Structure 1
Amino acid sequence: MAAARWAPIMGLLALLLPLAPAPARAAMPAGSPPPSPSPSSTVFQLHGDVYPTGHFYVTMNIGDPAKPYFLDVDTGSDLTWLQCDAPCQSCNKVPHPLYKPTKTKIVPCSDPLCTALHNGQSPTKKCTSPQQCDYEITYADNLSSLGVLLTDSFSMTLRNSSNVRPSLGFGCGYDQQAGKNGSVEAMTDGLLGLGRGAVSLGSQLKQQGVTKNVLGHCLSTSGGGFLFFGEDIAPPSRTTWVPMARTTSGNYYSPGSAALYFDGRPLGVKLMEVVFDSGSTYTYFTSQPYQATLSSIKGGLSRSLEQVSDPSLPLCWKGQRPFKSVSDVKKDFKSLQLSFGKNAVMEIPPENYLIVTKNGNVCLGILDGSAVKLSLNIIGDITMQDQMVIYDNERAQLGWIRGSCVRRPKSFMSSFL
């Protein structure tokens, strides 16, 4: 849901125009290999952190021969795209050489993948010619990516020890509007779209029989973590599951509406419509729950904490000496809880809503969503740290379970059992 990281950490949240949900059975792009008889799963190492990097990203090897690209992991948007030399009209400085397309990889306008992409955009984007599928993605903070849809090989190693190279559709972005041309240096080459739509990577892997349409991530507070596709990675028990709900603003991953508690006490705000979004660094509450949270946190603070200005985030405090980590100050803060229905609770301890900056201050990582005109409450990376979050599109349910995210799983996650 957040735009690609061309913007600073502050104010980078941007809502993608919702794309069409995946059909029950979608046609594969032209030239795709036949489905494998037994879908497996695959795991990728994640890099980055909430602070100071401000995002988590994965290395994807794309093309023939395969070349590495850093992609922001974003469950809040559908289309994967790379900055692309098509030639490039407006691109930013990125870690790797721009992807170079070939005409044989261009998806025609008549392809079902193009239809699915266009059906979800508003206003509806039309092809400029039958030979190519044009796209334009616009984000709420006025960032955008304009390009054409391509297919190319994505190199993956499955847990059944086979190496596969499915031909997947993605955007070749030759016009990115984010600052003046070449003036923005991005830490990634593009974006990995993991949303619920038919053009998302998880949907396409399911369509080609590579994995089931189940994906998840585990973000570590110490940096890094892992991303997975397939249904045999998630632990079989102790996971909190809730049905996926439809949201008022689009086809996002939502566990529905939640009641908000602070230190076990209800805050008296109306039920909050919640979305999980790995593309957002921080968590955003709409006006009423944000103000209630702010009041409760401030009311319980020690007098030894003094509010201070810090360029990292809007609300920060300093202590008698600089803090080295959240553990130095967590005793002064209480946990939040989001309650979905009767039995599903997401605990948000201080380490899931606070950061310590390079200046030694502690800052609140829950931001005011009304300042960026949000009508939804966004659970971002900071709140999803040190728990596996599972997006099960096969059963239309979301799950989470707390545990260490430092190591990639080799079997069922023993640290979560």
Structure 2
Amino acid sequence: MMYDQVFVLFLFCLLFTTSSAESNHKWRSSVTMFNNNDYQETKSSIIFPLFGDVYPNGFFFAEVSIGQPPKPYFLDPDTGSDLTWVQCDAPCVHCTKAPHPYYRPSNDLVPCKDPLCSLLHSDDYKCDDPDQCDYEVEYADGGSSLGVVVKDVLSLYLSTGIQIRTRLTLGCGYDQLPGASYHPLDGVLGLGRGRSSIVSQLHNRAVIQNVIGHCLSARGGGYLFFGDDLYAASQITWTSMSSNDINHYSAVAVEFLFGGKGTGIKNFHVVFDSGSSYTYLNSQTYGILLSLVMKEIEGKPLQEVNDDQTLPFCWKGEEPIRGISDVSKYFKPLTLSFASGWRTESQFQIPPESYLIISSKGSVCMGILNGTAIGLQNLNLIGDISMQDKMVIYDNQKKQIGWVSANCDRLPNSNALFL
């Protein structure tokens, strides 16, 4: 859902484009299968390398190939929204700068009567033109995208070594307003629970299981995958998705712990959101956590600073802090404890390394923010910073969310890679 404020030089993205495109070419298989709607479902996955980081860039992105011939686009993987859209020149009314030339859509417009079109609108929506489906997506950071829905070919690579090209539905965005967390990318890769998401469409074509996962490295980069063949379910810690929130990957924690001890915060509803770099808590929970952190570092060689505006709360040491390992001993881990069965609990651990950053000024800053203060009301978001160095899995078929500690620095070993 892209909430956090980041300021990124567009030139950096352009320089990064060349190196990432060259490295991607090395691991792709040359086997192809073209636009077959009758795939025999196998145990396979689709894997995307991820680029970027939580800080200083403030976002991750995947390269997706769209069109005939296929062209690369950098998309923000967002588990908080469904529709995938790309900025296009059809013509572009308001568009932001992007790493690639604007997408030129195919002439395959999705008509208004298409079932996928109805998913993007309220029940009383009436078409201005029956031959096309319009869309408008608004994000919590104030950003938005307006455009028309089209079908086009996506080139994807299965972990079995097969390249597939399949026609899927996506948005051609010709009117974008950047929000507070503006990212200089080509568009958004919608990974939400809805039937209009790319993964749901692939599942309906029996290409993969309706499962999404990501592994974000604290050192930058990582990978994103669709499908279920990259992990053993028995090795994953699972909790059920909330049945009261069908729009998000959410769960209800039995208790919120600080340093292994109770905080008094129970029945804590959280949303796992890859579109948010930082973690956001409602004002009450945030206030409790902040007071606990402040109390914990009393007497420690850390002093709160006001001249570092990287994040709301930063501290400096007696010397510039070089890495989180220099100061992590002064902070305690957080834990979300979820009910996973009768008298059993599953725990999502957030060590100091997963809620702190080291700023460019050599301060240590807390990457957990007050969500109520920016309009998220009582919503609690687990953002990228707190999911680093974990494989996090959203199993839409079994309605469960899973996680396990992982090395996210290397792509998982499979036949489609390193060829």
TM-score, structure 2 length as denominator?
A: 0.87
Matched, 1:154 2:154: yes
Instruction: In structure 2, give the amino acid aligned to 1:232.
Output: D
User: Which residue is equivalent to 2:120?
Assistant: 117
Deviation at 1:208, TM superposition (A): 1.3
Q: Which residue of 1 aligns with 2:70?
A: 66
How far apart in 1 are the matches of 2:191 and 2:251?
A: 16
Correspondent of 1:328 among 313, 326, 330: 326
Moved more, 136-145 or 88-97: 136-145
Structure 2 SS opposite 1:295: helix
1:231-280 Cα deviation digits (max 9, x unpaired): 111233321111111345x6100122341110111011242110000000
Aligned-partner SS, 2:218: coil
Among 372, 375, 378, the residue aligned to 2:374: 372
Partner of 2:90: 86
Q: 1:67-216 counterparts in 2 under 5 A?
A: 67-103=71-107, 105-119=108-122, 125-178=125-178, 186-216=183-213
Using the TM superposition, give the Cα deviation of residue 214 of structure 1 relative to its aligned residue in structure 2, in angstroms. 0.7
Query: CA–CA distance in 1 between the matches of 2:95 and 2:355?
Result: 34
Indicate if the aligned counterparts of 1:63 and 1:154 stay in contact, CA closer than 8 A.
yes
Deviation at 1:322, TM superposition (A): 0.8
Alpha-carbon distance in structure 1 between the residues aligned to 2:357 and 2:275: 18
The aligned counterpart of 1:16 is none
Q: Partners in 1 of 2:182 and 2:264 — Cα distance?
A: 44
After TM superposition, the structure 1 = structure 2 runs for residues 35-50 of structure 1, keeping only pairs within 5 Å, are 35-39=38-42, 40-50=44-54
Corresponding residue for residue 270 of structure 2: 274
What letter matches 2:268 in structure 1?
M
Partners in 1 of 2:402 and 2:352 — Cα distance? 21
Taking the aligned partners of 1:368 and 1:126, their CA distance within structure 2 comes to 39
1:286 matched to 2:256: no
Which residue does the alignment assign to 2:29? none
CA contact (8 A) 2:6 2:183 kept: no
Indicate if the aligned counterparts of 1:246 and 1:252 stay in contact, CA closer than 8 A.
no
CA distance in 2, matches of 1:156, 1:62: 9
Equivalences for 1:308-387 in 2 at 5 Å?
308-309=305-306, 310-341=308-339, 342-374=344-376, 375-387=378-390
C-alpha distance in structure 2 between counterparts of 1:244 and 1:9, whole Å: 33
Name the SS of the counterpart of 1:170 in structure 2. Answer: strand
1:144 to partner: Cα distance: 1.1
Please give the alpha-carbon distance, in whole angstroms, between the structure 2 residues aligned to 1:125 and 1:273.
Answer: 32
Cα offsets for 1:357-391 (capped at 9, x unmatched): 11110000000111023222100000000000000
Q: Which runs of 4+ in 1 moved over 6 A?
A: none
2:322, 2:358 within 8 Å by CA — same for their partners in 1? yes
Could you say what the CA RMSD is over the residues aligned between the two structures, in angstroms? 2.2
8 Å CA contact 2:2, 2:141 repeated in 1: no
TM-superposed deviation, 1:32: 6.5
Corresponding residue SS for 1:212: coil
- Report the 3-state secondary structure (helix = DSSP H, G, I; strand = E; otherwise coil) of the residue aligned with 1:298: helix
Kindly, what percent of the aligned residue pairs are identical? 50
CA distance in 2, matches of 1:166, 1:217: 22
Question: Contact conserved, 1:282 with 1:379, CA < 8 A, in 2?
Answer: yes
Three-state SS of the structure 2 residue aligned to 1:382 is helix
The structure-2 alpha-carbon separation of the partners of 1:238 and 1:186, relative to structure 1 and needing over 3 Å to count, comes to closer
Which of 279, 292, 300 pairs up with 1:303? 300
- In 2, the alpha carbon distance for the partners of 1:335 and 1:175 equals 43
Residue in 2 aligned with 1:52?
56
Distance 1:303 1:243 in 2: 39
1:407 aligns to what? 410
- After TM superposition, the structure 1 = structure 2 runs for residues 228-267 of structure 1, keeping only pairs within 5 Å, are 228-247=225-244, 251-267=247-263
SS of equivalent residue, structure 1 residue 359: coil
**Aligned letter for 2:333?**
S
Match of 2:235, SS state, is coil
